[in-house]
Amino acid sequence: MMRAYRALRRRAVHPKGGSRDRDWVDPAIALGLVVGYVALLLSTVHDLGYARDEGFYFQAARSYEGWFELLFTHPDQAFTRAAVDRYWSANHEHPALMKALFALSHRFLHEKWRLFAEAGTSYRFPGMLISALGVGVTYLWARRLASRLAALVGGVSLAMMPQVFHHAHLACFDMPVAAMWLITSYAYHRALETGGVRWPLASGVLYGLLLDTKHNAWLFPPVLVAHLFLTRSRPLFTGTLRGRIAVPSALLSVAIVGPLVFYACWPWIWYDTGRRIAEWIAFHTGHEYYNMEFLGRTYWKPPMPLGYAWVMTLATVPLTTLALSAIGFGHDLVGAVRARELRTRSAPVFWTVSIFVSYAPWLSTKTPIFGGTKHWLTAYPFLCLFAAVGFERVACAVREELQRRFGHQPLRTALVEIAAALCVVVAPVAIALGAHPWGLAAYTPLVGGASGAATLGLNRTFWGYTTGAVQDFLNQRAPPRAAVYVHDTAMQSWEMMQADGRLRSDLRGTMNIHDSDFALYHHEPHMGRVEYQIWVAYGTSTPAHIGTYDGVPVVWVYERPRPR
């Protein structure tokens, strides 16, 4: 046990790469985290229904799969404009990487090799894997500044952030873009540390893939530029005066290689490139506002509440994680600012800028809030990196105190440190696992949990994934060929649940209440009008079944009374 403790407590790797440790240990731990997290996600996916947007991405992935089929059989035809337009026009308001991975995963892991029994899970697998890679890289990056135990705290804190845990299951882009942002940042920072060719090249390639994941990537270059000025302003200034601008090769790689990779990996923009990229940008900068409840009020147009991002972060991120992050931030960054040593604190500066840039859009009252916390998921890995550093400070204080009181007693110190680590991760684990599969209804004790959040008027769900929580009721109760009004579940998501055998195949999903026998209702305040339509059409306001999380109704089902 002492050997394991010493291995965990090994001091941080020297920033320049020198280490007394065997090189394989930390990668092995990171790999273990990745594999373990994927296993956890897979084991908890079966009662999580398919979100609305997942249905759209399933449909797009099926289309892209057709293109891959053409590529494998008739590659010369695959690159024609007609083929590209035919297969890649689906959902072209979002770039292609994740949907292409969904398609390939479905084709090989479900259709061909039957590794996944459920098609839906095969679509979800790439998102899970990339999310898990994010957890592993959090560990690796934290390890460069902290002990293994502290790095583990950082990785587990990210993995078990309740909303991260939820989004990591989905065939969507929100957790993947957060993971890719982190991974790209790590590669970029390694490039700054080591120079050479490998890491700068990787930075550019990864940035291209980040751009191909989701449009949050537009905010990434400002992070690099800001970091450069904060940590290298003097050499940049003096170099400029001497006629030499020392721009890091990694930054050049991001600027040059990144867009090339982005272009190569998104067939839709191979043709009519300028117009299609402009269309993509215009879609997201002019996105329609959807409804979102916040503190008992539904917002559907600006001005949006300035406190939204901060309050929702406090309400959904475990307080222990935030406290550790604050300690890490205070120790590393504030200390460096005071000592005017930002250059020597390059990584924490990078993390800080990433967090700030991720949240910055919500300094404007015009920024939409309809996506809830997923809007700034890109900040969370960096919060957890600070949490790792924060725990390292806690562990140091523990060692000093125990040394002072009891002298050199490594076993006692080991136990106390491990106990402290368990204390700081156990609440996130309990909240995340306890909230599954309710996901977005997970709120921390700071706001009184789910019931406190409901009383405060905070959003409980959107995207219709909670149909998974009432699937058993429908399967058991509905007569043959019953029509079910699907409400906020996309029809494509409903059909996937049937294809996977989660819902009976004879049940008929419908978008019409008046023709239905059962009606789902996914609650948000503005959706109330749908419920009232059900009341009048069915002649009853008594739900037949309610899915609750910690006693709070989230989704319910009405059954049309049948004539006696």
Minimum distance between the CB of residue 11 and another protein, rounded to whole angstroms?
18
Length of the chain: 564
Please state at what angle helix 97-105 crosses helix 119-143, rounded to 10 degrees.
120
Query: Which residue, 192 or 554, has its beta carbon nearer to another protein?
Result: 554
Q: How is residue 83 written in tokens? A: 């083929």
- Quote the least distance from Cβ 150 to another protein, whole Å: 12
> How far is Cα 247 from Cα 399, in angstroms, rounded to an integer?
42
Q: Shortest distance, CB of residue 31 to another protein, whole angstroms? A: 27
Q: CA–CA separation, 527 vs 550, rounded Å? A: 22
Cα–Cα distance measured from residue 386 to residue 381, given in angstroms and rounded to the nearest whole number? 9
Question: What is d(CA 437, CA 48) in angstroms, rounded to the nearest whole number?
Answer: 5
298 or 498: whose CB is closer to another protein? 298
For 558, list phi and psi in degrees, rounded to 5.
-105, 145
Rg (CA), the chain: 25
| Beta strand extents in 283-377 (DSSP E only) | 292-294, 297-299
State the SS3 of 144-202. Answer: CCCCHHHHHHHHHHHHCCHHHHHHCCCCCCHHHHHHHHHHHHHHHHHHHHHCCCHHHHH
Q: How far is the CB of 49 from another protein (least distance, A)?
A: 19
User: In sequence order, what DSSP letters do the residues of 482-535 get, joined into one string?
Assistant: -EEE-TTS-HHHHHHHHHTTSS-TT-EEES-STT-SEEEEE--GGGHHHHHHHH
- Least CB distance to another protein at residue 52 (A): 12
Least distance between another protein and beta carbon 530 (Å): 6
Minimum CB separation of residue 389 from another protein in Å reads: 13
- In the chain, what is the straight-line distance between the N-terminal and C-terminal CA atoms, in Å? 70
* Closer of 47 and 400 to another protein (Cβ): 400
* Residue number, 337 or 398, with CB nearest to another protein: 398
For another protein, give the closer residue by CB, 282 or 511.
511
Q: Give whole-number Cα distances, 537 to 354, 473, 514, 518, 526, in Å.
A: 50, 21, 6, 11, 19
Minimal distance, residue 173 CB to another protein, in Å: 24
Residue located via tokens 């147009």: 301
- The answer to whether residues 488 and 514 touch, using CB atoms and an 8 Å cutoff, is no
| Cα distance between residue 220 and residue 250, in whole Å | 13
Residue 77 tokens, joined:
């035809």
- Output 85 or 550, the one with its CB closest to another protein: 550
Q: Which is nearer to another protein, 182 or 304 (CB)?
A: 304
Closest CB to another protein among residues 39, 511:
511
The residues that bridge with 521 in the sheet, in sequence order, are 556
CB of 129 to another protein, least distance (A): 29
Binding site for another protein (CB under 8 A): 298, 300-301, 318-320, 323-324, 327, 390-391, 393-394, 397-398, 400-401, 404-405, 419-420, 423-427, 430-431, 434, 444-445, 448-452, 454-455, 511-514, 523, 525-537, 540-544, 546, 548, 550-553, 556
Residue 556: phi, psi to the nearest 5?
-140, 170
Q: Sign of torsion, CA 371 375 381 384?
A: negative
CB 165 to another protein: min, Å? 14
CB of 419 to another protein, least distance (A): 7
Count CB-CB contacts under 10 A for residue 512.
Answer: 10
CB 236 to another protein: min, Å? 38
Cβ nearer to another protein, comparing 26 with 559: 559
CB-wise, 80 or 455, nearer to another protein?
455
* Nearest to another protein of 179, 453 (CB atom): 453
Query: How far apart (Å, rounded) are the C-alpha atoms in residues 339 and 47?
Result: 52
* Cβ proximity to another protein, 84 vs 160, nearer residue: 160
CA of residue 442 relative to chain centroid, distance: 15
